Amino acid sequence: MSMRISLSVPLLVAACLQLTGCGERSRSTSTAPPSPPGVTTTAVHRSDIQQTGRTETVFVFSPTENQQRTDLAKRALFTYVAQQAVPGSWVHVAVGKQQSKLASLVVPEGSPRKRIRDRDLRTALTVIHDAFDRPDTTSQGQVNLPALAATVRKLRRTEYPCRVSIYGDPLYLNPEQQGYSHAPGKVTTDASIGYKHSPFQITPPLPKDTRVVWGTPDAAFGLDEQHRAAVRRFNALYIQSLGGSLLRTTEDTSLLFHYETPFAIDRIAAVNSEPGIAEVSVWSEAEEESEGIGTMKLRTKEINASRSETVEAVLTAAENDPRTIAIAINWTSADPSCDIDMYLTSNGLPGELFFDNQETTWGTHFKDVVRSETAGEVDVEDFKNWEWLKVDHARLHDLSLYLNVYRTEAPARVTIVRVWNGERKVRVIDLNVSEGDGGLGRNNRRATDAWRRVSLYSFSERDEPGTL
């Protein structure tokens, strides 16, 4: 290890000097010594922040096989640390779609030449240099935008203004989240932001007033310019929803750490849509706003569009076909955001039906209602906005049904309709739960009141918790 460092550091120092110019002096007048990398600092008064101009920057880097572009990103980072960042500022580097921490450093005092002679800085830059010189490209440029806020929160050490630079593919391509991925000509819909089944959650948020710059390895990402514009807009809207601002998406690595813009940072209005993905249909250049972020019209495509049967149609079909079973639920609660989900298994058959696994070899989950206020009044005649399941066999004793209180701040009353052996029955149960568990207790359902097992066979026995 020592031999590797001794060989790479002089080359690294020379490169930094060549990049930045050795004669420039720091613009800061602060003389306080920086904390060494890895040391957690205490809270900083707002007045101190304003006087010093220090910031805390997180650089999320996901390399591709284009080594030339990787080298340009590394050069931009070294230039920022050696010349542009205010002394005392923190810089963190996270790598790959897992956003694993690579290094943290504090920018030292002095000219670029003096800075890069700092022992702690040279150590950190050597680690970064080696990682960029032999990049792990298994992430294929994927940044994993939904994880950004959590990564920033985990790395953060001060209350300095937060800055984020991203270098990687603006497209979100996740084979485990294909219903929300930016496949060719597709973009995640606005309604997916904060939707409970979507990866694009809004908690935790970014630190207040976080400024973000996105550098892309390939200017021609996506299907075409319409697709690129739609993806840029969605990324900006999501970062806005987290409390930050996406200043630009650019292939110019010299702008990767520039957090000022001559344009006003306008808020983006969300488009009415359903959660999922949409086809990009219209993009008008006349409607473009700051740096290519404009108003987009989308043709919405619901994830479950193929499941067109209504709940009444499924219940009636089960009444007419004793070889099948149908189950439907609705609920009321004093909490309008109360959310209850069904989980169904069939003994000896693979898979569990629930909102995130809506097809098995033996059944189908049709609809997920996410708020009690949208469920409407419980009416077993019109079945407005119920959740329902269909089972393609009649072995009721093989089925195990759980209700999960995903979110609530008040008890709920649940109405359950079951059709078996051609007969429809209704029952009502009370869930005296004041807090949901977000589905986290799925693997230990006895441990929380948020999970309730419902007997389907007799449809009269008391409900009791249990495990699969």
Tell me the pLDDT tens digit for each residue of 42-59.
Answer: 344 444 444 469 999 999
Q: Which residue has the higher pLDDT, 459 or 231?
A: 231
Residue 64 to residue 352: CA distance in whole angstroms: 37
* Percentages (nearest 5) of helix, strand, coil residues in the chain: 25, 25, 45
Predicted pLDDT at 245? 95
How would residue 30 be classed by pLDDT, with cut points 50, 70 and 90?
very low
Cβ pair 463, 429 in contact under 8 A: yes
Express as a percent the part of the chain with pLDDT over 90: 45
Lowest-confidence region among 10-24, 33-47, 189-203, 312-326: 33-47
Backbone angles phi, psi at 97, to 5 degrees: -70, -15
Predicted pLDDT at 338? 87
Contacts of 134 (CB under 8 A, 6+ apart): none
Residue 93 to residue 90: CA distance in whole angstroms: 10
How would residue 305 be classed by pLDDT, with cut points 50, 70 and 90?
very low
Predicted pLDDT at 42? 36
Query: Mean pLDDT: which of 102-106, 275-279, 299-303 is highest?
Result: 102-106
Cβ pair 430, 411 in contact under 8 A: yes
Q: Which two tokens stand for residue 285?
A: 């250049």
Provide the phi-psi class of 422: left if phi over 0, else alpha when psi is between -120 and 50, else beta: left
The pLDDT of residue 26 is above 50: no
Residue 267 to residue 320: CA distance in whole angstroms: 53
DSSP 8-state class, residue 320: H
Query: Mean pLDDT: which of 32-41, 142-151, 426-435, 451-460 is highest?
Result: 142-151
Give the pLDDT confidence of 117-129 residue by residue, as tens digits.
Answer: 999 999 999 999 9
Measured distance between the N- and C-terminal CA atoms of the chain, rounded to whole angstroms: 51
Residue 310 to residue 416: CA distance in whole angstroms: 16
Predicted pLDDT at 71? 93
- Could you write out the DSSP letters of every residue in 37-77? TTPPPPP--HHHHHHH---EEEEEE---S-HHHHHHHHHHH
DSSP 8-state class, residue 81: I
User: In which element (H, E) is residue 315 found?
Assistant: helix 311-320
The pLDDT of residue 16 is above 80: no
Give the pLDDT confidence of 411-426 residue by residue, as tens digits.
Answer: 999 989 999 998 998 8
